[in-house]
C-alpha cells in the first residue's frame, strides 16, 4: 500500500527537467543570498564586538590622558620669616603650625596688584590649589634656612583652573570647561599665561598621594597599596589552599558521592555572584570574628574565597595534563604516592597552576562589589601601612571618584581606570608568557 502511495505521489509531482532546473535555480539564488546574509550577520557581530572594545578604550583614554598632567603656576614666594616664625626659634612645631597660605596670597597679590575688594581677593586666591600650602610647609620643614629668602616655585593650580587651562591648550575655547571661573579669573590667567608663568607638567601627585576631596591633590597610591596588600593576602592563602585541594581531588580522592558534592560545589562557587561573598565577609569576618572594617586583610580573605574555585579548577587541569607515565615511572622505582605527587607531578604542573593563580589574581584585582560590603568604600586620605590599616582598593577608588560631582574627577577616574587596566594587562600578559614558556606537550 505504502509503496503504491509513494509511486502515485511521485507520478503526480512529475515535472519536466526544464521546470525542475528552473525551480532549483530560483531556489538556489534565494539560498545563496541567505547564505551571504547569514555570513554577513556573523562578520557584523564580530566587528560589533571589536568596535565595542575600541569605543570603550577610546572613551577612557580620551577622557583620561589629560589627568597625567597638571597645571602649575610659577610664583615668586617670599618666605617671610616674620609671618612664619615670629620668635625666630626655628622650632619645628611652630614651623608646621604656621599659616603658609599667607605666603601664597602675598605672592599672588604681587603678580596681580590691582585686586582690591574682598570678593576679588577670594577669586584670586582660589586659583591656586589648597595643596600649595602643604608644599610650602614641607619646603620650610626640610630646610629652615630658606626663611627670609624669595624663591621661584611651581605650585599646583586648583582643579577648575586646571580644567580650563587644559581645554585652552587643546584648542577649545575653554568656555564650556571653565564655567566655574569668573571673568576676572580668566583675565588673570591669560595674563599669567602670557608671562609664561603657567605650565602643564607631569602630575606626580596622582601617583604618590592618597585620596583627597580636592581633585588636584587626589592620587591613587593609597588605593594601589590597599589593593597590593589585599592581593598579597589572597595569593598567600588561595594559591597553597587551591593547589592542595586540587592535588587531593585529582590524585588521592576516590570517586564517591562525597567527591561529587565537592566538585559540584567548586563549580558552583565559581559562578556565585561576587556580592554574595561580600555578604559572607560582612556577616562572618566582621560581625562574628570582629575583624576591623575597611582592612585589606578582610578584603583579602573575601577575595580568597572568591578566587579559590578558579585556582582549584586551573590546578586540576594542570595536574590532569601530566601524563600517567610520569606517575607510573615514579611509583615503579619505589616512590610513595605522596613522593610521586610532590617530587614529580607537582613540579611539572606548577607553570599551569601559576597561570591559573595569576588569572585568578587579575580577577580579584578588578573586583569591587564585595569590597563595598566590608566597608572599603570609606574616604581614606592616608596611605595604608599594612594589611590591618584602613584602606580602599583601586576599583573602589574608581567607583568613589566616578560618583563625585566635581568635573575634574572625571579625567582622574579615567586615568585611574587606565592604571588598573595596565596592571591587569601586565598580569594577563605574564600568564600568557608563563604558559607559552613552560607549557609542555606530552
Residues 210-229 that bind another protein (CB under 8 A): none
Measured CA to CA, the distance from residue 412 to residue 203 in angstroms comes to: 11
Residue 276: CB atoms within 10 A of its CB come to: 14
* Closest CB to another protein among residues 203, 315: 315
Residues 356-385 close enough to bind another protein by CB under 8 A: 362-363, 365-369, 372-373, 377
Q: Does 430 bind another protein (CB under 8 A)?
A: no
Query: DSSP assignment of 392-409, as one string?
Result: --HHHHHHHHHH---THH
Site track 318-347 with another protein (rule: CB under 8 A), x = hit:
------------------xxx---------
Give the residue from 105, 110, 195 showing the smallest Cα distance to 155. 105
**Residues 145/148/151/156 CA torsion (nearest 10 deg):** 90
Contacts with another protein: how many residues (CB under 8 A)?
A: 86
Residues with Cβ < 8 Å from 182, sequence gap 6 or more?
Answer: 123
Instruction: Out of 9, 19, 25, 34, name the contact with another protein by CB under 8 A.
Output: 34
DSSP label of 311: H
CB of 415 to another protein, least distance (A): 12
Instruction: Out of 79, 164, 399, 409, name the contact with another protein by CB under 8 A.
Output: 399
Residues with Cβ < 8 Å from 155, sequence gap 6 or more?
Answer: 72, 73, 74, 75, 77, 104, 128, 129, 132, 135, 136
Residues 39-98 close enough to bind another protein by CB under 8 A: 39, 41-46, 48-50, 52-53, 56, 59-60, 63
Residues 149-208 close enough to bind another protein by CB under 8 A: none
Instruction: Out of 136, 140, 245, 298, name the contact with another protein by CB under 8 A.
Output: 245
* Closest CB to another protein among residues 59, 149: 59
CB of 273 to another protein, least distance (A): 2
Residue 153 parent element (H or E): strand 150-156
Residue 197: φ, ψ to 5°: -100, -5
Instruction: Out of 113, 171, 290, 405, name the contact with another protein by CB under 8 A.
Output: 290
CB of 91 to another protein, least distance (A): 23
* Closest CB to another protein among residues 84, 410: 410
CB of 141 to another protein, least distance (A): 24
Instruction: Out of 92, 141, 272, 422, name the contact with another protein by CB under 8 A.
Output: 272
Instruction: Out of 81, 106, 144, 279, name the contact with another protein by CB under 8 A.
Output: 279
Residue that the C-alpha cell 602643564 belongs to: 200
Please list the residues that pair with 200 across neighbouring strands.
71
* Closest CB to another protein among residues 194, 271: 271
Question: For the stretch 426-442, what's the b/e string if a residue is b when 16 or more beta carbons lie within 10 angstroms of its beta carbon?
Answer: ebeeebeebbeeeeeee
* Closest CB to another protein among residues 198, 362: 362
* Residue 299 cell numbers, joined: 578584603
Please compute, for residue 46, the number of CA atoms within 13 A of its CA located in the half-sphere on the CB side.
Answer: 5
Instruction: Out of 262, 317, 321, 348, name the contact with another protein by CB under 8 A.
Output: 262
Amino acid at each position: 500500500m505504502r509503496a503504491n502511495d509513494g509511486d502515485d505521489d511521485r507520478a503526480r509531482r512529475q515535472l519536466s527537467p526544464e521546470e525542475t532546473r528552473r525551480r532549483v535555480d530560483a531556489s538556489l539564488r534565494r539560498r545563496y543570498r541567505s547564505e551571504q546574509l547569514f555570513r554577513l550577520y556573523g562578520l557584523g557581530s564580530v566587528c560589533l564586538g571589536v568596535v565595542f572594545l575600541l569605543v570603550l578604550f577610546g572613551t577612557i583614554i580620551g577622557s583620561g590622558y589629560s589627568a597625567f598632567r597638571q597645571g602649575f603656576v610659577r610664583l615668586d614666594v617670599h618666605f617671610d620669616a616674620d609671618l612664619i616664625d615670629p620668635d625666630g626659634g626655628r622650632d619645628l612645631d611652630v614651623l608646621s603650625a604656621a599659616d603658609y597660605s599667607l605666603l601664597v596670597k602675598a605672592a599672588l597679590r604681587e603678580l596681580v596688584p590691582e585686586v582690591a575688594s574682598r570678593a576679588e581677593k577670594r577669586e584670586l586666591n582660589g586659583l591656586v590649589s589648597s595643596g600649595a600650602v602643604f608644599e610650602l610647609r614641607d619646603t620650610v620643614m626640610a630646610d629652615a634656612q630658606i626663611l627670609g629668602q624669595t624663591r621661584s616655585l611651581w605650585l599646583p593650580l586648583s582643579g577648575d583652573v586646571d580644567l580650563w587651562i587644559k581645554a585652552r591648550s587643546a584648542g577649545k575655547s575653554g568656555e564650556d570647561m571653565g564655567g566655574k571661573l569668573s571673568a576676572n579669573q580668566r583675565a588673570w590667567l591669560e595674563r599669567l599665561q602670557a608671562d609664561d608663568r603657567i605650565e602643564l607638567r607631569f602630575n606626580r601627585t596622582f601617583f604618590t598621594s592618597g585620596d583627597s576631596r580636592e581633585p588636584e591633590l587626589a592620587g591613587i597610591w593609597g588605593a594601589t597599596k590597599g589593593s597590593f596588600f589585599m592581593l598579597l593576602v589572597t595569593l598567600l592563602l588561595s594559591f597553597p589552599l587551591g593547589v592542595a585541594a586540587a592535588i587531593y581531588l585529582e590524585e588521592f580522592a576516590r570517586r564517591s558521592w562525597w567527591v561529587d558534592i565537592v566538585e559540584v560545589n567548586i563549580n558552583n562557587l565559581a559562578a556565585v555572584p561576587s556580592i554574595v561573598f561580600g555578604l559572607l565577609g560582612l556577616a562572618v569576618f566582621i560581625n562574628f570574628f570582629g575583624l576591623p572594617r575597611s582592612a585589606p586583610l578582610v578584603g583579602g580573605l573575601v577575595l580568597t574565597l572568591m578566587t579559590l574555585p578558579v585556582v582549584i579548577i586551573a590546578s586540576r587541569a594542570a595536574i590532569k595534563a601530566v601524563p600517567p607515565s610520569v606517575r607510573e615511572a615514579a611509583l615503579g622505582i619505589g616512590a610513595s604516592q605522596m613522593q610521586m605527587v610532590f617530587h614529580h607531578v607537582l613540579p611539572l604542573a606548577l607553570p599551569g597552576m601559576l597561570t591559573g593563580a595569576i588569572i585568578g589574581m587579575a580577577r580579584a584585582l578588578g573586583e569591587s562589589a564585595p569590597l563595598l560590603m566590608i566597608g572599603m568604600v570609606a574616604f581614606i586620605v592616608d596611605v595604608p601601612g599594612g594589611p590591618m590599616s584602613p584602606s580602599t582598593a583601586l576599583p573602589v577608588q574608581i567607583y568613589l571618584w566616578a560618583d563625585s560631582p566635581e568635573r575634574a574627577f572625571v579625567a582622574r577616574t579615567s586615568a585611574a581606570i587606565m592604571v588598573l587596566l595596565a596592571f591587569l594587562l601586565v598580569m594577563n600578559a605574564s600568564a600568557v608568557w608563563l604558559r607559552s614558556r613552560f607549557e609542555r606537550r606530552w
